[in-house]
Structures are given as structure tokens and as C-alpha cells.
Chains A and B, each alone.
Chain A
Amino acid sequence: MIKTTAQKIYIVLIFIFLYAPIATLMVLSFNASKTRAKWGGFTLKWYSALFRNDDIMQALFNTLLIALIASVVSTLIGTVACIAIMNLKKRSRAVVIGITNIPMLNAEIVTGISLMLLFISMGLKFGLGTILLSHITFCIPYVILSVMPRMKQMNPYTYEAALDLGAGPVYGFFKVVFPEILPGVLSGFLMAFTMSIDDFIITHFTKGAGVDTLSTKIYTEVKKGIKPEMYALSTIIFMTVLILLLLVNRRPAEKKK
């Protein structure tokens, strides 16, 4: 009894630790005073100002566009790559997995500068394109790591049975393999999308002047002071995701009943 209470208190404390800053930002989005330091009364004006702020809206658009394209492309490349990796011999498989792990284990700052040096030497113009290439690069490993276990769990004979029964390789893949790995593909996609949205360091090194995502925009605002509209926007994003998650998690629970 004492043990479970202690456990609950511990979880609550960690929860507070992780969510205190988030709660702070939400409160600040309703703060009428422009500085972070003091409370100036409740207001909704930052929320209406937000939609009139073209800079922030443009950064939001860039962020979402990059995250969407990067996660779709990396999910496609990553899932297809998984099929190939499964069919490699043991040693070459180990090499490929090792290379896949590099962007995850390497420091983000090193990944960032290495891509920056590559783009400079290729003579690419820094902008949305270079950000996109870098995001796809660091998103693919997340997709592979979440699809791979699903592939390994699969019974290889079901696919062969489908082929024996006359299905073509593509038809067989979509009818037999794809439904099995779908949860892995989806979680890889979501992981990639989340990582892309939250990334700052790699974007910082691979973006061009004048092109901003939300992260880099916030970073340039740090010295001048963050605009309260930014708090309003992140509150909206956070609440949207929270509500979506609650809805998604609720459905299977109801089914069970």
C-alpha cells in the first residue's frame, strides 16, 4: 500500500517536472503583459494577433510543409528499404543497419555541420530544399527502426503462400505484408513527423537566410524577447495534438467494451 502510494507520488513528480514548462507557456499565452516576468491580467489578444502576424504564419507553413514532405518521403524510402534489408545477407545487413544508426547516435550538431559542408560543396542554394533533404536524412532511421521489428515478427511463409496461390509480388505485398507492418509504418511516420517539427539544430545549420521554420524563428527572437503570439501558437498546436491523441486512444477502448 505504502509502496504503491510512493510510486504514484513519484510518477506525479516526474509528470510535474516534464509538464511545468508547458503549463508555464500556456499561462503566458493568456498574459496581457508583454514581458514574461509579470502577470498583467487575462487576455486573448495574442491569439487574434497571431493570425495577423504574417512572419509567424509563414514559419508555421514552412514547418508543416517540411514535416509533411519529409515524413512522407522518409516513410516511403524507409519502408521499401526495410524489405531490401531483410533480404540482405547477415554481414551486409549489419553494415546497412550500422550506417542507419549513424544519424541517430551521432551528435545533431555534427550531422548539421556535415550536411552544411556537403550542400556548400555541391553549390546548392540554402533554403527550403536543403532543410528538406536534411530532414529526410534524419527521419529515415526512425522509420526503419519502427518498421524493422514488425518485418522480423512476420511469418515469411504467408507471403510465399500468397505467391503460390497466384498473387503477383506487388499484390501479395499489399494484401499480406503491408497490413502486418502497417502499425510500424504508421508509428514510423508519426515519429518522423514529430522529430521534423521539433528539430532545431540541424535546421539551424542547413537553412538559408530569410527562410525560417518555427524553431529557427524562435531562436532569433530569443535575444529580443519572444513574441507572445508564439506562446499562443504553441498552445494551439499542443492542445490540438493532445485532443487528437485522446480521440485516437479512446476508440479502441470503447471497442473492447
Chain B
Amino acid sequence: MNKKPVSKKKLLGTPYFIWSVLFIIIPLCMVFYYGLTDKSGAFTLENVLAIALPEHAKALWIALGLSLIATVICLLLAYPLAMILCNKKTGKQSFIVLIFILPMWMNFLLRTLAWQTLLEKTGVINNILGFFHLPPLSIINTPYAIVLGMVYNFLPFMVLPIYNALSKIDSNVINAAKDLGANSFQVFWKVTLPLSIPGIISGITMVFIPALTTFVISKLLGGSKILLIGNVIEEEFTQASNWHLGSGLSIVLMLFIIVNMVLTAVFDKDGEGSFL
């Protein structure tokens, strides 16, 4: 009696299951197919090994370096912010939306472009610095500007998971630690920080992957002189039309993504630090 409705309910998932096979699994298989074959369709590792060519390796190293720096800065900025937001009890939900979701309604490209206006030699920031007789900043079209763009665009993806993990901590645990004589530093180091690790790991994933693979931020703020691995892949697809090479390099990127997914799965078993 009880079995029939259950199987009927499972059927409700059919559209999504078909959809995810068709538009998630098969496309990924296609990337692997293109990446592991040459133009005649024969198996080759050449496209993947092309990452070792100097120009590609350099792009990957720069991308890795800049995205690591951006991830660390995001973490350092986001953790205190998440803690402050967590202690604020009143109207926090709408405040968080205001701070982090609302900016998405201003187009991402325009927001990033606006940093050009702010950072330019005669831009807003240098005018303000000049007013206080401070030396001008000239970071536009340098790696610094790219890091800034990454931090600016991806900071919300670090704050939200950490905030979610922190807000799930039972205040009794913290009170117990205090009762047992821990000072506020010990409470943070021994209780709050370990309990928020799922959020931190998921935040790192959410920032590191988009930063590593971006081609837009480097193009808009790096003055097209600095090529990241994302730029190389994008050009293979849109200009050079060498899909095999582009797919091969994407496979290399996916290795980093898989490592990240495994880390998330290990540290965040229950999805505690989820983004939403």
C-alpha cells in the first residue's frame, strides 16, 4: 500500500534527472572528449600536456598566484565581518541582502569597469589622495588591480558561508567555554574557529575557483597585458577556434576544481557552510 505513492513521487524528479544528464553530465563528457582527441578524432594527451608550454604554464601560475592572494584577502576581510553580522541580532537578514545581493543588480561588468574610473591616474581615488597630499596610487593595469577586482567581486561568496556556519554555533557551547575559564581569545581559537571550518572551506572554494578561472576581470582591469589561464581558454574558443586545445586546458582546470570539491566534501559533510 505504502510503496506506490513513493515511487510516484520519485517520478516527479524525472524532468530534472533527464535535464541534469543532458545539460550537466553529457556536456562535461564532451569537454573530456574534445580535450583528449585531436582534430581527426584520434586519442591524444597533447592538448592536456600543452599546459606545460611556457605561455600556458605562465598563465596558469599567474592565475594561481593572484587567485590565492585574493582568496586569502577575502578570508581575512570576511571572517571579522561575518562575526560582526552574526552578533547583530536585529534585522540582520535584510541587512545582509542589502550588502551582498543588491550589488548584483548592477551589472557585474559595469561594476568592475567602474573600478577603472576609480583607480585611473586622474581618477577619483587619486583625487582624494591628492587632496590629503598623499602619493598617488597607480595600480590600474597591474596585477594589483586584478586582485582588487577579484576580492571585490567574490567577497560575498566568502562572507555568506562563514556567516551561515557561525550562526549555527550553539551559544551554550561558547558560554560553557567561558564558564570553564576560557578568555575570549581561547574561546575563539578553541571553539568558534574550529566550528566554523565548514564555512571557511566552502567560502575558499566559492572564491578560489571563480578567481582562478576568470577571464573578465583580468581583461577589464589588467589592461589586456596580463593573461590568465581563463583568458587563454576563452581565446581558444572564441578567436582561435581550437576547441581541442581549449578543452584540454579546461581539463587541467577541472583537476583543481575536483580537488576543491573533495576538500569541501571532506570538511563540510552536512552542507553546514552552504552558500544559501
Residues of A bordering B, CB below 8 Å: 7, 10-11, 14-15, 17-22, 24-25, 28, 36-38, 77-78, 80-81, 83-88, 96, 99-111, 113-118, 121, 133-134, 136-137, 140, 142, 145-146, 149, 169, 187, 191, 194-195, 197-198, 200-201, 204-205, 214-215, 218-219, 222, 226, 230-231, 234, 237-238, 241-242, 245, 249, 253
Q: Are B6 and A109 in contact (CB under 8 A)?
A: no
Q: How distant is the Cα of A38 from the Cα of B121 in the complex, in angstroms?
A: 12
**Which of B109-117, B130-138, B139-147 interfaces with chain A?**
B109-117
Q: Are B105 and A241 in contact (CB under 8 A)?
A: yes
**Which of B18-26, B38-46, B171-179 interfaces with chain A?**
B18-26
Q: A105-B257, A234-B107 are in contact. Are A11 and B246 (CB under 8 A)?
A: no
Give the chain A neighbours of B102 by CB distance below 8 A.
238, 241-242, 245
Q: Are A15 and B99 in contact (CB under 8 A)?
A: yes
Q: Are A137 and B24 in contact (CB under 8 A)?
A: yes
CB distance from A257 to the nearest CB of B (A): 14
Closest CB pairs A-B (n = 8): A84-B13, A21-B114, A114-B27, A81-B16, A107-B213, A117-B30, A137-B23, A118-B27
Q: Are B6 and A87 in contact (CB under 8 A)?
A: yes
Q: How distant is the Cα of A226 from the Cα of B117 in the complex, in angstroms?
A: 12
Give the chain B neighbours of A7 by CB distance below 8 A.
84
Chain B facing A: main interface SS: helix
Q: How distant is the Cα of A84 from the Cα of B223 in the complex, in angstroms?
A: 49
Q: Check if B198 is an interface residue, CB within 8 A of chain A.
A: no
**Closest chain A residue, CB of each to CB of B233:** A109
Give the chain A neighbours of B243 by CB distance below 8 A.
113, 117
Q: How distant is the Cα of A229 from the Cα of B209 in the complex, in angstroms?
A: 33
Q: How many A-B contacts if CB must be within 8 Å?
A: 227
Q: Are B9 and A133 in contact (CB under 8 A)?
A: no
Q: Are B118 and A80 in contact (CB under 8 A)?
A: no
Residues of B bordering A, CB below 8 Å: 5-6, 8-17, 19-20, 23-28, 30-31, 34, 77, 80-81, 84, 91, 94, 97-118, 120, 122-124, 152, 155, 205, 209-210, 212-216, 219-220, 230, 233-234, 237-238, 243, 246-247, 250, 253-254, 257, 260-261, 264, 274-276
Q: Are A198 and B105 in contact (CB under 8 A)?
A: yes
Q: Are A222 and B113 in contact (CB under 8 A)?
A: yes
Q: Are A22 and B114 in contact (CB under 8 A)?
A: yes
Q: A10-B84, A84-B12 are in contact. Are A237 and B105 (CB under 8 A)?
A: yes
Q: How distant is the Cα of A88 from the Cα of B16 in the complex, in angstroms?
A: 14
Q: A25-B114, A110-B213, A114-B27 are in contact. Are A194 and B99 (CB under 8 A)?
A: no
Give the chain B neighbours of A107 by CB distance below 8 A.
209-210, 212-213, 230, 253-254, 257
Give the chain A neighbours of B116 by CB distance below 8 A.
36
Q: Are B113 and A226 in contact (CB under 8 A)?
A: yes
Q: Are B105 and A102 in contact (CB under 8 A)?
A: no
Give the chain B neighbours of A18 by CB distance below 8 A.
99-100, 103, 152, 155
CB distance from A171 to the nearest CB of B (A): 14
Q: Are B34 and A108 in contact (CB under 8 A)?
A: no
Q: A24-B117, A25-B106, A140-B16 are in contact. Are A105 and B205 (CB under 8 A)?
A: yes
Q: Are B254 and A110 in contact (CB under 8 A)?
A: yes
Q: Are B27 and A115 in contact (CB under 8 A)?
A: yes
CB distance from A139 to the nearest CB of B (A): 11
Q: Are A231 and B110 in contact (CB under 8 A)?
A: yes
Q: A14-B99, A140-B16, A218-B107 are in contact. Are A109 and B250 (CB under 8 A)?
A: yes
Q: Are A14 and B81 in contact (CB under 8 A)?
A: yes
Q: A24-B117, A105-B205 are in contact. Are A118 and B105 (CB under 8 A)?
A: no
Q: How distant is the Cα of A189 from the Cα of B103 in the complex, in angstroms?
A: 18
Q: A10-B80, A118-B30, A146-B276 are in contact. Are A21 and B101 (CB under 8 A)?
A: no
Q: How distant is the Cα of A85 from the Cα of B101 in the complex, in angstroms?
A: 28
Give the chain A neighbours of B234 by CB distance below 8 A.
109
Q: Are A105 and B264 in contact (CB under 8 A)?
A: yes
Give the chain B neighbours of A145 by CB distance below 8 A.
274-276
Give the chain A neighbours of B219 by CB distance below 8 A.
222
Which residue of the partner chain, among B24, B26, B216, B247, contacts A102 with CB atoms under 8 Å?
B24
CB distance from A56 to the nearest CB of B (A): 12
**Closest chain B residue, CB of each to CB of A38:** B122
Give the chain A neighbours of B91 by CB distance below 8 A.
253
Q: A14-B99, A116-B237, A145-B275 are in contact. Are A106 and B257 (CB under 8 A)?
A: yes
Q: Are B107 and A96 in contact (CB under 8 A)?
A: no
Q: Are B247 and A113 in contact (CB under 8 A)?
A: yes
- Most B CB contacts (10 A, CB to CB) among A116, A194, A253 go to A116
CB distance from A13 to the nearest CB of B (A): 9
CB distance from B31 to the nearest CB of A (A): 5
**Closest chain A residue, CB of each to CB of B13:** A84
Give the chain B neighbours of A253 by CB distance below 8 A.
91
Q: What are 15 A-B contacts with C-beta separation under 8 Å?
A: A20-B114, A21-B106, A86-B9, A88-B10, A108-B210, A109-B215, A109-B234, A115-B27, A118-B26, A121-B30, A140-B20, A187-B276, A197-B104, A200-B107, A215-B108
